[in-house]
Amino acid sequence: MAEKFLMKGNEAVAEAAIRSGCRYFFGYPITPQTELAAYMAKNMPKRGGVFLQAESEIAAINMVYGAAGAGARAMTGSSSPGISLKQEGISYIAGADLPCVIVNMARGGPGLGSIQGSQADYFQATKGGGHGDYHMLVFAPNSVQELVDMTARAFDKADEYRMPAMILGDGMLGQMMEPVEFFEPTEPDALPKKEWATDGTGMKRKKNIINSLYLESEILERLNIERYERYKRICEKEPLFEEINTEDAEIIIAAYGMSARIAASAADALRSEGVRVGIIRPITLWPFPSEIFARRAAYVKAFLCVEMSMGQMVEDVRLAVEGKCPVYFYGRTGGMTVEPDAVYKEVKRILELKTAGGI
């Protein structure tokens, strides 16, 4: 059996990135992701990599643009207000079809908000954030082990589809310690060469250009349509989710990340009382696993979406369910954590609505 390490989520992401062949990390200090940058600062030089503390979040994401365009696996990490600052760069990265990984250990917002964990950046992560027609891959792990596994996957998928990928955690996941196992490291030289990268022509090929500017609208439209054809393939192939006890469920809780772990405790308590409750936990937020919600909507009586926000993913659940059954929402915001007992009570309340003819 592989060796286990007890690590904070932020540190585990960093180690997973290095083992994925990432040797370039550009960051800016912000709570609650500081351990990520600190781990990189300590370990990148030992592993032949570069850690650079940029002058701003904006500079950091543009350094990622440069390094990714030069053919390397590159990463930046931040938390909500810092991720807002990076949006210009993310739009350019998407527009120039560059692969990279961005970590958001989200905190309460809007504005400077709070420093406690939050899930209020769902819209920003999945619906754009920056300007223009684009998406990025969004992975939302719910454990330190899954942070490790999804970081590796994010690098692979970003390269495969030539697009930015985000690890969307929250302050709680970044700060908590759990035992993790790591995969065997990949050396950067062992990764497939990127023929499109700007690494010097060597006078052996035509020039490569990394660019998102197309002054002729006909060309930009064609490229955007092509990019969305790629997105369509991603939506077919790449959604990830976990299902618990949905076969016989009359009500299904939809939750991701830390909310899903809390909801699972509530679901266990309800099951022990004979309440037929299940859980669908999206692991990719984009592409959103719509199909499983549509399938389960055919027989459940209701969904309850639980988030640490005022209700963001609930919109995607409703779109997937297409009105086949009611979709309720319960959330806490501003950095407050959803409590198992509150989820338990909300499920009970909804089921009572049913007996009263509410569902």
Partner 1 sequence: MITVFKRPHPLSDVSNTYCPGCTHGIVHRLVAEVIEELGAEGDTIGVAPVGCSVVAYNFFEFDVQQAAHGRAPAVATGIKRVHPDKLVFTYQGDGDLAAIGTAETVHAAARGENISIIFINNAIYGMTGGQMAPTSLVGQVTQTTPYGRKIENQGYPIKVSEMLSTIEGAAYIERVSVDSIPNIKKTKAAIKKAFECQLDKKGFSLVEVLSSCPTNWGMEPSEALKWLRENMIKQYPLGVYCDKR
Concatenate the DSSP letters of all residues of 267-321 into one string.
HHHHHHTT--EEEEEESEEES--HHHHHHHHTT-SEEEEEESSSSSHHHHHHHHH
**Shortest Cβ 128–partner 1 spacing (Å):** 16
* Binding span for partner 1 by CB under 8 A among 104-112, 205-213, 227-235, 336-344: 205-213
Does residue 150 bind partner 1 (CB under 8 A)?
no
Return the C-alpha torsion angle 258, 263, 265, 270, nearest 10.
180
Does residue 208 bind partner 1 (CB under 8 A)?
yes
Does residue 26 bind partner 1 (CB under 8 A)?
yes
Reference 125, options 340, 316, 329; nearest CA is 316
Q: Which helix (H) or strand (E) holds 263?
A: helix 257-272
Site string for partner 1, 212-241 (x = CB under 8 A): xx-x--------------------------
* Binding span for partner 1 by CB under 8 A among 3-11, 197-205, 250-258, 342-350: 197-205
**Shortest Cβ 357–partner 1 spacing (Å):** 56
Distances (CA, A) of 158 to 136, 190, 334: 9, 17, 31
Does residue 211 bind partner 1 (CB under 8 A)?
yes
**Shortest Cβ 5–partner 1 spacing (Å):** 28
**Shortest Cβ 13–partner 1 spacing (Å):** 20
Considering only 43, 198, 265, 337, the residue that binds partner 1 (CB under 8 A) is: 198
Question: Coil, strand, or helix at residue 27?
Answer: strand
Report the residue number, 5 or 214, with the smaller CB distance to partner 1: 214
Using CB under 8 A as the binding criterion, the count of chain residues that bind partner 1 stands at 41
CA distance 39 to 10: 8
CA distance 31 to 334: 15
Report the residue number, 217 or 272, with the smaller CB distance to partner 1: 217
**Shortest Cβ 186–partner 1 spacing (Å):** 17
Strand-pair partners of 1: none
Q: Cβ(117)–Cβ(106) under 8 Å?
A: yes
Does residue 39 bind partner 1 (CB under 8 A)?
no
Report the residue number, 54 or 319, with the smaller CB distance to partner 1: 54
Does residue 209 bind partner 1 (CB under 8 A)?
yes
Does residue 191 bind partner 1 (CB under 8 A)?
no
Q: Cβ(256)–Cβ(286) under 8 Å?
A: no
Q: List all residues 6 or more positions away from 101 whose beta carbon is below 8 Å from its beta carbon.
A: 17, 22, 73, 74, 75, 151, 154, 155, 158, 164, 165, 166, 167
Considering only 71, 108, 113, 287, the residue that binds partner 1 (CB under 8 A) is: 71
Q: Cβ(306)–Cβ(330) under 8 Å?
A: yes
Considering only 9, 21, 27, 69, the residue that binds partner 1 (CB under 8 A) is: 69
By CB under 8 A, what part of segment 336-355 binds partner 1?
Answer: none
Q: Cβ(310)–Cβ(260) under 8 Å?
A: no
By CB under 8 A, what part of segment 79-98 binds partner 1?
Answer: 88-89, 92, 96
Q: Which residues contribute to the site for partner 1 (CB under 8 A)?
A: 24, 26, 50, 52, 54-56, 58-60, 62-72, 74, 88-89, 92, 96, 198-204, 207-213, 215
